[in-house]
A and B are shown apart, each in its own frame.
Chain A
Amino acid sequence: MPVIEQKPSDEQSVTGSAAKLKVVAVRHYGRWALGLVVLVVLAAIVHAFAVADIQYSVVWEYFAEPTILAGVLHTLLLTLVSMALALVLGVLTAVMRQSHNPVLNWVGTGYAWLFRGTPLLVQLLIWFNLSLIFKTFTIPGIYSNSMNAVMTPFVAALLGLGVNEGAYISEIVRGGILSVDDGQREAAAAIGMTRSKTMTRIVLPQALRVIVPALGNEFIALLKYSSLAYAISYSELLNSANKIYTANFMVIELLFTVSLWYILLTTVFTVLQQVLERRLSRGQNRRPPSLRSRLTTNLSLRRPR
């Protein structure tokens, strides 16, 4: 290597020994200051709650209290069953809206419009008070009973949540169906598949990839919306807490207990959603990262490479 007899200029020192150079990152003083302000505000809020007249031990005390646990079970039951109803209604409606039959198409569209256009709480109250206009519930020749006996708080909550959620799910499923390329339908037709077989074997499985993440969000939303069943006195989680705090006046404490439960359930279902999404991404080039890898990336101090 030729030695150049020259005072090293800035440029030469950079190119010559780049490996030894230390890189000084830009210092973001503004971020530091802003971060500090946010931390101070946050600390003030935490402090306020810490010194407030709240007995935190009570929050924990009631966490596994039988009434609360029963409420948790009822919330889960209500959410699961109404989600199942919503899925059936939603898929059915979405497929109806793909139908060549104008009546089916129109009814499907009307259902989605009606139940998405009115508030859930109003719908719950209507279901619950249905006995005011229909004294008996009758399926001709099969079943008959007084409406009050049929429309228990659970049934009203189930119908209210399920039928409402079904309208939203129908939109999600419809979007998923429309997201599948027309070429897939043609390819299925070309190997002699019927329309219904094409839907169940080719279109819906592919639509699921789009639908499932959205359904996961809907399920978690439904879990929280199920607390509205409180208004029609179904003994779900919030209602159970209400029974306790009307007796002991620990209102905020029990609402915190309830919140803890909702956060716990939401987190658990988020994890399940993640697992399911990975399962469904077969044949895709890009697999969504696992929750664990997401967490390790997000929690590690190193920058992602």
Chain B
Amino acid sequence: MTGPVVVAEGVRKNFGAAKVLQGIDVVVTQGEVLCIIGPSGSGKSTFLRCINHLEKIDGGRLVVNGGLVGYRQRGDKLYELRDREIVKERQRIGMVFQHFNLFPHKTVLENVIEGPVQVKKESRASATARARTLLERVGLAHRADAYPREMSGGQQQRVAIARALAMDPELMLFDEPTSALDPELVGEVLDVMKDLARSGMTMVVVTHEIGFAREVGSKLIFIDEGRVVESGPPREVLTNPRNARTRAFLSKVL
């Protein structure tokens, strides 16, 4: 089945007087990898955080996995969802953060099984078995008993990916997953992400890795000042940017 996983129509978000998102329109269908690029402060991370309701939108419509984010529509009224309902929606969306945000008081294995055991009420034994498979997949089966601080940034980020995958998400969000890494560690994280994209996972990736966007992305949007300035297949946008602002940005990062 290939249906839309994320549909954004005129999504707006303000932080006080600052209009961070000024009407974002984008559709992500199942199995697609949407890459979002843009200058810092352009609102690309904020848009990503709106998708799993870490930020509440101030206007427009945002439909994820077939449901409105944060609201239930009944007739012509929108009812705000309760915390419990929001939490339920988030279980279907994995998220990977720029600064990994692993739980430092738990081992790698405990990090990965925390969601399945505590949220999905899966048995510890089955969660552990699945977690070991996932750690194998990100190449870290041998570090299961390590604490996050004993690992490199690249390893921590791969654990963070395994932790998100442990919830069996239908959509994965990546918020600048390699921006906090030393250059020589970027590759190992991107490899895991490429592998994930090939397996058919729907992904939204905010990134500065133009190479990754070109190679793996199925769609690319360039956001500037809270608006989608340009969108299309990555190769096209990156080689033949039509908008002057996209050209200016790419000339700086390429």
A residues in contact (CB < 8 Å) with B: 181, 183-184, 186-195, 197, 201-202, 205-206, 209, 282-285
> Whole-angstrom distance from the CB of B36 to the nearest CB of chain A?
18
Chain B interface size band reads 20 to 34
Interface string of B147-159 (1 = CB under 8 A from A): 1111000000000
Given contacts A201-B118, A285-B149, contact A193 B87 (CB under 8 A): yes
* A contact residues around B88 at 8 Å (CB): 192
Name the residue of chain A whose CB is nearest to the CB of B173: A190
Bound Cα distance A29, B84 (Å): 71
**CB pair A187 B97 closer than 8 Å:** yes
Name the residue of chain A whose CB is nearest to the CB of B167: A191
**CB pair B148 A283 closer than 8 Å:** yes
Given contacts A202-B103, A282-B105, contact A193 B54 (CB under 8 A): no
B residues in contact (CB < 8 Å) with A: 52, 54, 83-84, 87-88, 90-91, 93-95, 97, 99, 101-107, 114-115, 118-120, 147-150, 160, 163-164, 166-167
Q: Is the interface of A mostly helix, strand, loop or mixed?
A: helix
Please tell me which one of the listed residues B84, B90, B104, B105 contacts residue A190 in the complex, with CB atoms under 8 A apart.
Answer: B90
Bound Cα distance A186, B163 (Å): 13
A-B contact pairs, 8 of them (CB 8 A): A187-B101, A190-B93, A190-B94, A191-B94, A194-B84, A195-B83, A206-B105, A282-B105
**CB pair B167 A186 closer than 8 Å:** no
**CB pair A191 B105 closer than 8 Å:** no
Name the residue of chain A whose CB is nearest to the CB of B93: A190
Most buried by A among B90, B95, B105, B160: B105
Given contacts A192-B87, A201-B114, A206-B105, contact A284 B149 (CB under 8 A): yes
**CB pair A190 B119 closer than 8 Å:** no
**CB pair A190 B149 closer than 8 Å:** no
Please tell me which one of the listed residues A183, A195, A205, A209 contacts residue B101 in the complex, with CB atoms under 8 A apart.
Answer: A183
